[in-house]
Structure 1
Amino acid sequence: MKPIVRTLFKAPGKLYDRDLGWVLGKRFLCLTHFGRKSGRRYRTVLEVIGLRPETDEVLAIAGLGPSSDWYRNIQAAPAAEVAIGRRKFVPAHRILGESEAAAALAGYERRNRLLRPVLHPVLSKLVGWRYDGSDAARHRMVRQLPIVAFRPRGATESDQESD
């Protein structure tokens, strides 16, 4: 990866490292989680693909699929913290079902129409096939790349079911 691209990808993490994540608004979140084997504390910056004020949820996609370390780690042990904008909370999480995830991805694409020329090729590279933005492709994608909803722990009575 070229140095300038690497720097751009690492920039959100550097901002969170300096307690400046609020500069990113609600476009990225910083997930603090624990290694499933090491127990070590990790921080991973994820792009927010959706906000759901009605359920107080923040949505992120596992861009490297279910083998993403952060995704596997939160399956093994609850995450310690989510920071987004100026807000921090101890999260509970749930994995969206296929229909709900496809609708969330469609909403993300609608809100980010100007990114479509870059978004579709990037998503195609992540999944290994040509993503065209159709409903069928969206459903196929979310079967490969899970979408996770984070909300403050204790926000709903079903938190225990999602952990």
Structure 2
Amino acid sequence: MSVADRIDELAGRALRTRWFVRAPIKLYRVRLGFLLGHRMLMLEHTGRTSGLPRQVVLEVVERPAPDTYVIVSGFGERAQWYRNILADPAVHVSVGARRHVPARATPMSAEESAAALARYATARPQTWKRLKGSIEAAVGAPVDTLPMVTLQLDPGRK
């Protein structure tokens, strides 16, 4: 096994470890989310079964406009946050110094997702190479396409 394969395997294991992937949420809760800059955001959504508030920190894939963010579901359509926003697209976003901003989550078409992923891979080839390997190690399958979501912030809505 090569060093790169070993790194992917370890990163994939980390992505499957609940405490590890939830750790950045604590930064947002204590108002330090700005330390993660604009490449990460915290998505607050509603549990589709429980109705309880849920949070997840995700990487921003693209920012096509000042109040628009594109995020990706690395675990595909089975990710709990993704399934929750399909049931209720009214969400809140914390990113940079902005906290708990109302937003609307809109799943992108397969074609839009593929195009956005291709742009990401072109803009950040090394990051994509590592991320792709880590995701594939975590899900145990090749990643050809991943579902993506557009978040449109609406700072005027409460």
CA shift digits 1:1-52 (9 cap, x unpaired)? 57xx877644422211211111111111101111111111111111111111
Q: Secondary structure of the equivalent of 1:90?
A: strand
Structure 1 counterpart of 2:86, one-letter code = Q
TM-score (norm 1): 0.73
Paired residue for 2:9? none
State whether residues 31 and 79 of structure 1, in contact with CA within 8 Å, keep that contact through their aligned partners in structure 2: no
Q: Secondary structure of the equivalent of 2:83?
A: helix
2:24 and 2:148 mapped to 1: Cα distance? 20
Percent of residue pairs bearing the same amino acid type:
35
Query: Structure 1 residue runs of 4+, over 6 Å off?
Result: none
Structure 2 counterpart of 1:151, one-letter code = Q
State whether residues 93 and 149 of structure 1, in contact with CA within 8 Å, keep that contact through their aligned partners in structure 2: yes
Structure 1 unmatched runs, 5+: 132-140, 156-163
Structure 2 unmatched runs, 5+: 1-12
Structure 2 counterpart of 1:97, one-letter code = S
* Displacement after TM superposition at 1:116 (Å): 4.3
Paired residue for 2:76? 65
CA shift digits 1:104-125 (9 cap, x unpaired)? 1112122222324422312433
Total equivalences in the alignment: 141
1:78 and 1:95 mapped to 2: Cα distance? 9
